[in-house]
């Protein structure tokens, strides 16, 4: 019999150092391998998890992956709106409410023609629809979404770039925003997004920059100003924090009990923000042995959405750990784990 776990909302994932009530979080692989007593995060689940799970060496199962699985739009909007991710974004995105009519963006700085453009007008411009991932550089969260917006290059062109301009900054009203090389933003064909899936951002408030292969701290929401400038030194584009390289996450919810012989369908994602994920690996003996599945046919624009079907042969309490390996040999510093019960 095939039994699936429910899938958890993406926003519920947590990073090291955050306490959760459930399982399915990420934790350092090293800590897992050492029985959890070295766990740096305070997640007591892991201390418990360390103890005595029934071990299965060289776990076998059915593996497939796809890259076109999308995160439901509502979950993308809320992805970073949870308490667990306030390190990355304003709690609940507490922006001032602005009506659709009153929302506008100023394009200025070192340009030939400073101008303001309203949301209505932006929506009348030629729209681009693209599938893109949004990956936080500082938490395990990743989403894949179909986003609609206008090309940043079209907006920049309307202003006319002044000589020697090499920097672009997307700022919200309070000044949030990081400078980026203009050439990078043009090459990546960044979008100013006003719709995710078939849903517009609420209250005309939330226009957001989306840039392929780039961590989400550059994805300024509620953009109020697009500033073009000349920097002495072109800013660098930062990648994800080391601990959030080769991100992997099991999206199944916890607590289900299965029967011996059930086919348990695990699923989740692996992503390294533009670096290829070449393998996804599973362990059911606390990291002593890993079974590796090749994903080197994957593209780097989309996440690797994996499925792992496992059939338990004996009753017990088990822990599944998952990690990803990338083309440059990075192995997830943070594995993702889930615990499940199997009955006779």
Residues that bind Mo ion (CB under 5 A): 88, 136, 138, 216-217
Return the residues of window 124-153 that contact ligand MTE according to CB under 6 A: 134, 136
**Among ligand MTE, Mo ion, none, partner that 79 touches (CB below 5 to 8 angstroms by kind):** ligand MTE
> Coil, strand, or helix at residue 325?
strand
Q: Which residues contact 193 (CB under 8 A, 6 or more apart)?
A: 147, 148, 149, 207, 208, 209, 210
Cβ proximity of 162 and 228 under 8 Å: yes
Give the shortest CB-145-to-ligand MTE separation in angstroms.
9
DSSP annotation of 20 reads -
Give Cα separations from 251 to 4, 23, 45, 81, 83 (angstroms).
11, 10, 17, 18, 18
Nearer to ligand MTE, 223 or 342 (CB): 223
Nearer to ligand MTE, 88 or 304 (CB): 88
Among 75, 172, 272, 302, binds ligand MTE (CB under 6 A): 172
Nearer to ligand MTE, 82 or 295 (CB): 82
Q: Give the pairing type, strands 26-28 and 334-343.
A: antiparallel
Nearer to ligand MTE, 39 or 155 (CB): 155
> Where do runs of H (alpha helix) occur along the chain?
29-33, 44-50, 73-78, 119-124, 152-159, 182-187
Among 158, 176, 203, 315, binds ligand MTE (CB under 6 A): 176
Nearer to Mo ion, 28 or 140 (CB): 140
Return the residues of window 58-97 that contact ligand MTE according to CB under 6 A: 76, 79-80, 88-90
Residue 219 binds ligand MTE, judged by CB under 6 A: yes
Q: Tokens standing for 303?
A: 């996440």
**Among Mo ion, ligand MTE, none, partner that 220 touches (CB below 5 to 8 angstroms by kind):** ligand MTE
From CA 279, how far away is CA 33, in angstroms rounded?
19
Binding residues for ligand MTE (CB under 6 A) = 76, 79-80, 88-90, 134, 136, 172, 176, 208, 216-217, 219-222
């Amino acid at each position: 019999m095939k039994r699936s776990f429910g899938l958890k909302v993406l926003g519920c994932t947590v990073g090291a150092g955050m306490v959760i009530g459930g399982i399915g979080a990420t934790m350092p692989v090293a800590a897992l391998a050492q029985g959890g007593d070295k766990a740096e995060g305070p997640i007591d689940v892991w201390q418990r998890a360390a103890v005595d799970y029934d071990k299965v060496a060289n776990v076998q199962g059915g593996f497939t992956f796809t890259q076109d699985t999308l995160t439901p739009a509502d979950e993308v909007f809320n992805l970073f709106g949870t308490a667990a991710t306030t390190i990355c974004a304003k709690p609940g995105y507490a922006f001032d409410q602005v009506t659709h009519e009153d929302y506008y963006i100023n394009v200025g700085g070192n340009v030939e023609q400073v101008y303001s453009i309203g949301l209505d007008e932006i929506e009348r411009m030629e729209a681009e629809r693209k599938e893109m991932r949004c990956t936080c550089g500082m938490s395990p969260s990743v989403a894949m979404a179909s986003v609609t917006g206008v090309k940043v290059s079209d907006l920049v062109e309307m202003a006319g770039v002044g000589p020697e301009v090499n920097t672009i900054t997307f700022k919200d009203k309070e000044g949030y925003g990081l400078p980026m090389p203009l050439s990078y933003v043009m090459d990546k064909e960044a979008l100013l997004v006003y719709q995710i899936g078939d849903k517009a951002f609420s209250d005309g408030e939330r226009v957001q920059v989306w840039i392929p292969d780039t961590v989400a701290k550059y994805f300024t929401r509620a953009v109020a100003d697009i500033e073009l400038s000349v920097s002495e030194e072109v800013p660098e584009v930062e990648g994800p924090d080391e601990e959030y390289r080769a991100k992997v996450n099991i999206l199944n919810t916890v607590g289900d009990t299965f029967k011996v012989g059930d086919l348990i369908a695990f699923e989740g994602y692996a992503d390294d923000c533009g670096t290829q994920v070449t393998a996804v690996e599973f362990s059911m003996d606390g990291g002593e042995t890993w079974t590796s599945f090749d994903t080197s046919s994957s593209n780097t624009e989309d996440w690797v959405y994996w499925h792992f079907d496992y059939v338990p042969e004996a009753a017990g309490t088990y822990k599944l750990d998952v990690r990803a390996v990338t083309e440059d040999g990075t192995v997830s510093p943070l594995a993702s784990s889930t615990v499940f019960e199997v009955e006779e």
